[in-house]
Amino acid sequence: MRKLSPFLITILLVSCGNGSGNNNSSNPRNIVATNQSTKPIPLTSDRNKSLCSVENLDEAQRNLNLSLFVRGQIVDEDRNFSGLIDGLKVRDIGASIITESSKDLNILYTYTSTDDVVTTDKKIINPQSAISICADDGKYARASIESAALNATYFISKTGRKVSELLPSVKIPAIEVEIGPLIKKSLKQIVKGEVVWTFEAFDTDNAYYSPGENKITFLPHSEEFKKAGMTMNFWEVPMVASHEYGHHIFEILHPYNVVNLGMKNCFGKMGLHAEPSELGKRSVTTEDVLGALNEGFADLVSFYSLDNNERGLKGVPCLEISRDVGSGVFADGTSKIFSTDALATFFLTKEVEAPETCDVPNYQDIHIIGAIFANGADRLLSLSVPTKDQRLSIVLSWLQEMKVKSSAMNALSPQDFLRESFELLVQMTAKMTDGKVDQSECDLAKEIYPEIDGHIISCMPAPLRNI
């Protein structure tokens, strides 16, 4: 058997998001393998510890104790779940934000490349079932299915309620929260009747939003993740659940096709399992620019909808500075601005080698371009309006305006699309405040996005007039 580098094999492997189809063929592509492990750590139920003797929670039992990773450490904090437990099911009453929290899904995707023609197959090993809690237990073991579902439900609902309050005219469909599915990918390459390569692994160490299914998934973590020193679980970091719900809001306000750069709606790979791959060609489309804006938007939604002491990323490796909306720099001290270098690298038609450490921003990663957008937006909004609600309102209105203008915007080059998107935010901020872009806003916009100079009409000097 030939020993082949898996990254040269031409099989498409979608590493996260809802990309796995049923029994179809596709053209071969290069593998992108991230966030995968042969050693997932399955989440287990803590429900059997309880007596589970009654069928409903009364109001006095709606204070539940959550295990959260906030302010750099694991802490136990009480939260009020009024309206957030339906019977004993972990979802809001009436299921207007969350239709169901589910567990136990076990699914196998098989990808077979036979002489470079790829077929895929999907097999449900075990179907999902609803997560419920026990009325007589106010605390669930850390990293249990129930604990993860309660955390996700609480923070998704918090973000959902805030967005609905600010956008009462928009009906936001409810989503499903999927906890700890075992999703196995099995790959096989056959050349002239001979099996030359096989690979099997589970999707791990990520959270993502699947637009077609209106679903937010928290994957199990892996032994590698824990060995790498990660002490937290993603469902313990409030920003992660809220960020994924931010993608849902983006999808409702401005749906678009995710076709190119991959890593769609993932939380991000955090530099884990990032294997060197063959540096290939890339072409960045307006959908990819929207992907980057979507990441920045989701970061902003969580930043503005969560409490200040819940929204931070302190102690979360690779994310704590780079994805902290309030940080004006990446972890290596590089300013979060749309510099010539950042833009040139993002739009480059060739892949660049990923930096060795996640402290250094990789400008070809849509999460990094999104982080520049999010920090820039926050700086501009902070200059103009005092409250988080006002800032979030402007960001939501900006995205609605992006949708209104989308047919004209789609005619732009991806470079112009990104710049126009940022300009639109500057203009929306002015429209929703004092109606004009004043000098300090102009100066800041140009600092964040130097290429904007000369584009914003209201920033230009007034034309000379004959008196």
Task: List residues binding Zn ion (CB under 5 A).
Answer: 295, 298
Contact 419, 455 (CB under 8 A): yes
Residue number with CB closer to Zn ion (64 or 418): 418
Return the structure tokens found at 136. Answer: 């007589």
Instruction: Tell me whether residue 149 or residue 298 sits nearer to Zn ion (CB atom).
Output: 298
Cα torsion 230, 235, 241, 242: sign: negative
CB of 293 to Zn ion, least distance (A): 11
> Of 237 and 298, which CB lies nearer to Zn ion in the complex structure?
298
Beta strands (DSSP E) in 24-174 are 25-26, 36-37, 63-70, 73-80, 98-103, 106-114, 117-126, 129-130
Smallest distance from the beta carbon of 265 to Zn ion, in angstroms? 6
Which of 448-453's residues contact partners 24+ apart within 8 Å by CB, and which partners? 448/337, 448/338, 448/372, 448/376, 448/379, 448/380, 448/422, 449/337, 449/338, 449/376, 449/419, 449/422, 450/337, 450/338, 450/339, 450/340, 451/338, 451/340, 451/343, 451/419, 452/419, 452/422, 452/423, 452/426
Cα–Cα distance between 47 and 439 in angstroms, integer? 59
CB of 201 to Zn ion, least distance (A): 22
Nearer to Zn ion, 269 or 388 (CB): 269
Nearer to Zn ion, 46 or 295 (CB): 295
What are the DSSP calls for 226-241, one per residue?
A: HHTT--S-GGGSHHHH
- Considering the complex, what minimum distance in angstroms separates the CB of residue 295 from Zn ion? 5
Which C-beta is closer to Zn ion: that of 243 or that of 379? 243
Q: Are 97 and 82 in contact (CB under 8 A)?
A: no
Is the Cβ–Cβ distance between 273 and 36 less than 8 Å? yes
Contact 55, 115 (CB under 8 A): no
Residue 434: φ, ψ to 5°: -95, 5
CB of 166 or CB of 298, closer to Zn ion: 298
Backbone dihedral region of 87: left (phi > 0), alpha (psi from -120 to 50 degrees) or beta? left
Pairwise CA distance, residues 376 & 326, whole Å = 9
Q: Provide, rounded to whole angstroms, the least separation between the CB of residue 243 and Zn ion.
A: 6
Write down the least CB distance from residue 113 to Zn ion, Å: 29
Least separation, in Å, of the C-beta of 319 and Zn ion? Answer: 11
Q: Which is nearer to Zn ion, 32 or 57 (CB)?
A: 32
Q: How far apart are CA 156 and CA 84, in angstroms?
A: 11
DSSP 351: P
For residues 101 and 152, is the Cβ–Cβ distance under 8 A?
Answer: yes
Nearer to Zn ion by C-beta: 375 or 429? Answer: 375
Provide, rounded to whole angstroms, the least separation between the CB of residue 63 and Zn ion: 31
- Quote the least distance from Cβ 392 to Zn ion, whole Å: 17
Closest separation between CB of residue 85 and Zn ion, Å?
28
Closer residue to Zn ion, CB minimum distance, 111 or 304: 304
Report the distance separating Cα 108 and Cα 11, nearest Å.
16
